[in-house]
């Protein structure tokens, strides 16, 4: 792995995927909304944060971390402080889809958040990787029974939390998909014909079982209260970019938030997650678990995110590119590369454990100092 560290990068893997995947599939996975400013800036933003070494290097470091949900009496021990963001319909990229990614996460002791619109079902994923710490990403649907059924299935399968997407009820405008739409042959493993028929959706006209016609566009805080009433699992709100929303989440018995822009796929022109993170961290003062995803492309980026205040860092596209490249082995290569990168960055910064990382380890530079990185 270390010998290939300079070549097995996200850029290398994405170029491979762009060359080998059908155009419609690559567009579906890689696209951002409108002019893709948020998509680009989420990656480039990490270049604005510079690592500031302190003291002498150390020869060892401990990457283990624990996620605490005290109100639920749940503690999750992870071998790595980073994991996988939810990505829908991964089967379009590789036949093993989430079976491969969760097995890889299990082998590395990493957390995986699975999309409700995964290519494999909740039950198949649990059977493939029973030891992986898994969370279910959830939308609130027009039929609350659909959302509740997914939550109940996740509970029975031993998933550890519900991650509610709050910025995905209305489809973002994505020009790439408009030009080359994804075909109906790619379908979600969790949405069978019986479930779709129960909400009055014509199965023959569905869009991969993930049509926005079954999501409730009028999501409100009352829906979060309803979700809290039907499950004892920790609830994490995904898509928070403002401190006042993070504080308000405390009033609804939420356990955590995920600072995220939905991979730059929903609303263009928003702040990069790493830029939105500090204000949110300062506002919640440790009262919520804080996840972040969006733009993370290296172990250095993981260190910067933790220094700014994230408890666990997540990424989606690098995992996906590894999956397309070599299945489970490709995903494990990505995990190992990130692990090596984070370990090296910590040791060079004199950090022997994650709890030693503080904001003093990073410095934010002006935008004028940012090195531009062209889109592939």
Nearest 5°: CA angle at 262, between 327 and 335?
A: 30
Does 238 carry a binding-site annotation? yes
pLDDT tens-digit profile of 68-105?
999 999 999 999 999 999 999 999 999 999 999 999 99
Query: Cβ–Cβ contacts within 10 Å for residue 177, how many?
Result: 16
Does 88 carry a binding-site annotation? yes
Give the contacts of 19 (CB within 8 A, at least 6 positions apart).
Answer: none
Look up residue 211 and give its DSSP letter: -
Does 163 carry a binding-site annotation? no
Of the candidates 272, 275, 232, the one whose C-alpha atom is nearest the C-alpha of residue 255 is 232
Average pLDDT over residues 121-136: 97
Give the contacts of 200 (CB within 8 A, at least 6 positions apart).
Answer: none
Could you list the beta-strand ranges (E) of 15-62.
Answer: 49-51
Does 172 carry a binding-site annotation? no
Structural contact between residues 237 and 164, judged by C-beta atoms closer than 8 angstroms? yes
Residue 144: what are its φ and ψ, rounded to 5°? Answer: -60, -25
Of the candidates 111, 156, 78, the one whose C-alpha atom is nearest the C-alpha of residue 319 is 111
Is residue 43 a part of any domain in this protein? yes
Could you list the beta-strand ranges (E) of 88-204.
Answer: 111-114, 133-138, 162-165
Burial of 228 (0-12, 13-18, 19+ CB in 10 A): middle
Structural contact between residues 308 and 281, judged by C-beta atoms closer than 8 angstroms? yes
pTM above threshold 0.85: yes
Of 52-61, 121-130, 140-149, 191-200, minimum mean pLDDT range: 191-200
* Catalytic option among 5, 94, 117, 262: 262
Does 296 carry a binding-site annotation? yes
Does 373 carry a binding-site annotation? no
Structure tokens at 53: 């070494």
Is residue 374 a part of any domain in this protein? no
pLDDT of residue 208: 43
Structure tokens at 270: 């928003």
Confidence category of residue 44, pLDDT binned at 50, 70, 90:
very high
Of 51-60, 291-300, 314-323, 331-340, minimum mean pLDDT range: 51-60
Of the candidates 82, 52, 56, the one whose C-alpha atom is nearest the C-alpha of residue 359 is 52
CA distance 270 to 148: 31
Is residue 371 a part of any domain in this protein? no
SS (H, E, C) 307-350: HHCCCEEEECHHHHHHHHHHHHHHHHHHHHHHHHHHHHHHHHCC
pLDDT of residue 372: 38
Is residue 256 a part of any domain in this protein? yes
Does 174 carry a binding-site annotation? yes
Is residue 20 a part of any domain in this protein? yes
pLDDT of residue 205: 46
CATH code for position 343: 3.20.20.70
Residue 74 belongs to domain spanning: 5-363
Positive/negative CA dihedral, 243, 310, 14, 128: negative
Is residue 347 a part of any domain in this protein? yes
Does 151 carry a binding-site annotation? no
Structural contact between residues 289 and 250, judged by C-beta atoms closer than 8 angstroms? no
Is residue 368 a part of any domain in this protein? no
Query: Regarding predicted confidence, which is higher, 126 or 264?
Result: 126
What's the structural domain count of the chain?
1
Is residue 376 a part of any domain in this protein? no
Residue 331: what are its φ and ψ, rounded to 5°? Answer: -65, -40
pLDDT of residue 143: 81
CA distance 258 to 84: 13
Residue 262 falls in the annotated catalytic set: yes
Does 58 carry a binding-site annotation? no
Does 205 carry a binding-site annotation? no
């Amino acid at each position: 792995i270390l010998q290939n560290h300079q070549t097995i990068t996200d850029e290398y893997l994405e170029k491979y995927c762009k060359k080998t995947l059908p155009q419609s599939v690559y567009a579906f996975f890689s696209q951002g909304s409108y002019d893709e400013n948020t998509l680009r800036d989420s990656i480039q933003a990490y270049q604005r944060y510079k690592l500031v070494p302190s003291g002498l290097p150390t020869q060892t470091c401990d990457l283990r971390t624990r996620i605490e949900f005290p109100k639920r009496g749940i503690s999750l021990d992870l071998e790595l402080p980073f994991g996988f963001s939810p990505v829908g319909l991964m089967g379009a990229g590789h036949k093993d889809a989430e079976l491969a990614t969760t097995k890889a996460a299990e082998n590395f002791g990493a957390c995986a958040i699975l999309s409700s619109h995964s290519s494999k079902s909740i039950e198949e994923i649990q059977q493939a990787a029973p030891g992986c710490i898994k969370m279910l990403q959830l939308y609130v649907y027009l039929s609350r029974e659909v959302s509740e059924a997914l939550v109940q299935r996740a509970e029975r399968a031993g998933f550890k939390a519900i991650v509610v997407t709050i910025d995905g009820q209305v489809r973002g405008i994505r020009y790439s998909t408009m030009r080359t739409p994804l075909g109906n042959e790619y379908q979600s493993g969790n949405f069978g014909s019986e479930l779709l028929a129960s909400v009055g959706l014509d199965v023959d006209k569905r869009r991969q079982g993930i049509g926005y016609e079954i999501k409730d566009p009028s999501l409100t805080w009352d829906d979060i209260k309803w979700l809290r009433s039907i499950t004892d699992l920790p609830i994490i709100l995904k898509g928070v970019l403002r401190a006042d929303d993070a504080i308000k989440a405390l009033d609804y018995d939420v356990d955590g938030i995920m600072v995220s822009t939905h991979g730059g796929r929903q609303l263009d022109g928003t702040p990069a997650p790493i830029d939105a993170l500090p204000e949110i961290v300062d506002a919640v003062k440790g009262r919520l678990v804080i996840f972040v995803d969006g733009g993370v492309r290296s172990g250095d980026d993981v260190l910067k995110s933790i220094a700014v205040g994230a408890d666990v860092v997540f990424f989606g596209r690098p995992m996906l590119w590894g999956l397309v490249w070599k299945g489970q082995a490709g995903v494990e290569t990505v995990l190992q590369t990130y692990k090596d990168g984070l370990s090296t960055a910590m040791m060079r910064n004199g950090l022997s454990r994650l709890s030693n990382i503080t904001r003093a380890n990073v410095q934010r530079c002006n935008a004028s100092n940012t090195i531009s990185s062209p889109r592939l």
